[in-house]
Structure 1
Amino acid sequence: MATPRRTSRLNSLLREVLSEVISREVKNPQLDGKLITVTSVDISRDLRHAKVFVSVIGDDADKDIVMKTLEQASGFISVQAAQKVVMHHFPALVFHLDESVDKQMHIHQLLKSVNDEKDSRQSLQNGSEQDDTDKS
């Protein structure tokens, strides 16, 4: 069993290496033009399995294609990453879609629309107050 400190270091290292492998070494037309980010890696305590969380910018169809393509290429990705990270056994990779970026963007859009509405109401209110002062 790995110590929490070691698993944390391995998670960071694997995130960097997997990001590089996916962006530079996976040659698949299904991934061309897709913005894919490895957001985090969660390796098991026995170092045999790793959950790889990826963010994909695009619509649901793009996300489905990317996730299926990464699953199909997981063997190749593992071999390439294992050449860069020295481990007794390289963990089996399981890809998961990280939707936190989408949620953050949605929250940002909601906040922006609330602020825009607040600004428009305030400008309307200021305009009506100006009209009231002009009448006096």
Structure 2
Amino acid sequence: MPRDHSRTLRIADQIQRELAELIRTDVKDPRIGMLTLTGVEVSQDYAHAKVYYTMLGGENDHFLAQNGLEHASGFLRGHLFHRLKLRVIPQLHFIYDESIERGVHLSNLIDEAVSQEGTVKGVDDLP
């Protein structure tokens, strides 16, 4: 079983690399701006792939990019078929990855808490 799991991970990594290249060079949809693919998860039967992406911009930009990616999914699958040596090319499901935004938000909260603690203690109270 571990061998099959490692093959799934290798296929997911290869799909991520190929999709990043295809989106950068071949997709001409203006709704899809500068985005970064953060990960790909492939199901055990290779029928479906969750493609996680992130991008700068507001909620409206994320919505437009999601629609553009869903519209281009057939085009991307066709090109993946020619680039990958797989019998089954998975259906692509694009999911916006909010983990980076959550990380920045938590980091800001921590910085704010530390700065408030420093003003409450005072400089003389620090060890």
TM-score normalized with structure 2 length: 0.85
Q: Secondary structure at the match of 1:88?
A: coil
Q: Distance in 2 between matches of 1:104 and 1:29?
A: 28
Q: Distance in 1 between matches of 2:20 and 2:70?
A: 15
Q: Which residue of 2 aligns with 1:4?
A: 5
Quote how far apart the aligned CAs of 1:85 are: 1.5
Cα distance per residue 1:87-129 (max 9 Å; x no partner)? 112111111111111111111111122223234445xx348x9
Q: Which residue of 1 aligns with 2:115?
A: 116
Q: Distance in 2 between matches of 1:82 and 1:106?
A: 39
Quote how far apart the aligned CAs of 1:65 are: 0.7
Q: Secondary structure at the match of 2:31?
A: helix
Q: Secondary structure at the match of 1:29?
A: coil
Q: Which residue of 1 aligns with 2:19?
A: 18
Q: Which residue of 1 aligns with 2:87?
A: 88
TM-score normalized with structure 1 length: 0.80
Q: Secondary structure at the match of 2:83?
A: coil
Query: Closer, same or farther in 2 for the Cα pair 1:10/1:58, shift >3 Å?
Result: same
Q: Which residue of 1 aligns with 2:73?
A: 74
Unpaired runs of at least 5, structure 2: none
Q: Distance in 2 between matches of 1:12 and 1:23?
A: 17
Query: Closer, same or farther in 2 for the Cα pair 1:126/1:112, shift >3 Å?
Result: closer
Q: Is the helix fraction higher in 1 or 2?
A: 1
Q: Distance in 2 between matches of 1:83 and 1:112?
A: 48
Unpaired runs of at least 5, structure 1: 130-136
Kindly provide the amino acid, as one letter, of the partner of residue 105 in structure 1: V
